[in-house]
Structure 1
Amino acid sequence: MSHGSRDGRHAETVWALTGRVRLARPGLRVETAFLDFDTPGVAGALEALRRAGTTRAVAVPLLLTRAYHAKTDLPAALAGARGPSVRQAAVLGGSPLITAAVQRRLFEAGLCAADRSTTGIVLAGAGSTDPEAIASVGAATRELWRAGWCAARPAFVTGPRPRPGEVVRELRARGVPRVAVAPYVLAPGLLPDRIAAEAAAARADVLSAPLGDAPEIARLVVERGLEACRTADAHAG
């Protein structure tokens, strides 16, 4: 389940990710739903499952951090919808597969494994007022540093500072030979465009694409869904 966006590229990316999840688990019924702006909404998706005779489902939030949408919007939408019994899975952040997906996009943008020792990464997220969400971006950044990049710093295009452009300039001032901006977002839209604009204005050497339908993200969606099923079965037992 995605938040949704007025930008059509967002929905296109979510549908592409859904398709990749289906390919990863043939035979598994996978539905797409949006909290806002796009269709089907949560209620519509659950109603379709109910008509198909589904009695249990798992809602996997297509969100990287556990903030307002995961803690409030999605639970409220699920509680107010008619349909099968639904368990909400964990958000996507906090998995090694996220680190792998970020690096995939960096390599697709022109970097290679040998560049790690001379490249600093600016992991640019959307920003949040939720301390847990901010901390999770910091944790993802530390995983990139552990993966061997010579520097890794979080940045936020809204909310708390620093901004992506500020961190690019900071790393340059420290003498980092090459600086790459990696958007910590799933799909294109207004905020990723702002990240790209800041990266260009600060003359970042590399800008990678949103994580989108990277194979690692599709695998992670499946993992989160299965984890939620196992937890539900354990509680039932």
Structure 2
Amino acid sequence: MEHTAVVLVAHGTRDERGAETVRSLARRVAEALPGQEVALAYVDVQEPFVGAVLDDIMTRHTSVVVVPLLLSRGFHVDVDIADAVAGHPGSRAVPPLGPDPLLAELLAERLRAAKVPEGAHVVLAAAGSSRPVAADDVETVALQLGQLCDGPVMVAYAAGTQPTVADAVAAARSAGAEHVMVAAYLLAEGFFHDRLSDAGADLVTAPLAAGDDGQDALLEVILARLTQH
């Protein structure tokens, strides 16, 4: 690897469960890269923000790669992270974690582990974004997941974008679905994931980074980003 340090950039959360899940993932990355400095930064809610972390880490390194711990493109990737990288020559950003077939496989395995009935309707629940490109990324994951599921897969959002998860679950019920499952396309625990339990589905999967299976899959995606770009 040509870089000498890695900055992981998460969204940030006030939920201590989600914050610890992200910190745990960062520790896994650091363990996998023993010869490099690995730092964790945020774009919202929590500090230190990505610009401040780059200010610090680039006093010790001339080549830094920034990995968005985000699941799609959007404002935080295209503006917050892009601006921070542009202001720090010697740093560069790789694409966010999604879409990626490994994440679709993780979601499918979570559904299989829950013994989801054959033909069940699956609602892929993502965080909303005002940017169409983010919706495109989520639709790509839905297509990937649809190839691994027996029943239909539809996209819905936890906040900010239509349709809502509750609306998608209700629509599936109205269409005659006996079983409706929510596959949580969210990185960690927090406000958005908590809201999914009120959507009326039969099952809500854990956020992606929760559990050893999720951390293993995400670590594989992160290391792939570092070697492929």
Do these two structures clear the TM 0.5 threshold for a shared fold by scoring above it?
Answer: yes
The alpha-carbon deviation at position 62 of structure 1 amounts to 0.8
2:84 maps to 1:77: yes
Q: CA deviation at 1:100?
A: 1.6
Q: Could you say which residue in structure 2 is the equivalent of 1:212?
A: 209
> Percent of aligned pairs with the same residue?
34
Higher helix share: 1
Matched, 1:40 2:48: yes
Partner of 2:72: 65
The answer for unaligned runs of 5 or more in structure 1 is 229-237
Among 99, 111, 115, which residue is 1:111 paired with? 115
Q: How far apart, in 1, do the equivalents of 2:120 and 2:30 lie?
A: 35
TM-score (normalised: structure 2): 0.85
Highest RCO, 1 vs 2 (Cα 8 Å, sep ≥ 6): 1
Alignment match, 1:221:
222
Bigger drift between 16-25 and 184-193 goes to 16-25
Q: Given residue 111 of structure 1, which amino acid in structure 2 is its aligned partner?
A: K
Q: CA deviation at 1:26?
A: 4.0
In structure 2, C-alpha distance between the alignment counterparts of 1:74 and 1:134, rounded to whole Å: 19
Letter of the aligned partner of 1:71 in structure 2?
Answer: D
Deviation for aligned residue 1:48: 4.1
Letter in 1 for 2:150: W
How far residue 175 of structure 1 moved from its aligned partner, in angstroms, is 2.7
Whole-Å separation in 2 of the counterparts to 1:173 and 1:23: 48
Contact 2:126 2:184 in 1 (8 A): yes
| Letter aligned with residue 63 of structure 1 | L
RMSD of the alignment, in Å?
Answer: 2.0
Q: How far apart are residue 179 of structure 1 and its match? A: 1.2
8 Å contact kept, 1:123–1:152: yes
- Residues 13 and 187, structure 1, Cα contact 8 Å, conserved in 2: yes
Deviation at 1:56, TM superposition (A): 0.6
Deviation string, structure 1 residues 120-147 (Cα, Å, up to 9, x no partner): 2100111112111112111211111111
Partner of 1:2 in structure 2? Answer: 10
2:6 corresponds to: none
SS in 2 for 1:20: helix
* 1:24–1:219 CA contact under 8 A, matched in 2: no
Q: Which runs of 5+ in 2 are unaligned?
A: 1-8
Contact 1:35 1:77 in 2 (8 A): no
Counterpart residue number, 1:129: 130
Q: 1:195 is matched by which residue type in structure 2?
A: L
Instruction: Tell me the TM-score normalised to structure 1 length.
Output: 0.83
* Counterpart Cα distance in 1 of 2:136 and 2:58: 38
Q: Quote the residue 1:234 is aligned against.
A: none
Instruction: Specify whether residues 146 and 92 from structure 1 end up closer, same or farther in structure 2 by C-alpha distance, changes over 3 A only.
Output: same
**Which secondary structure state, in structure 2, belongs to the residue aligned with residue 30 of structure 1?**
strand
Query: Is the partner of 2:139 in helix, strand or coil?
Result: helix
**8 Å Cα contact 2:108-2:148 kept in structure 1:** no
SS in 1 for 2:58: helix
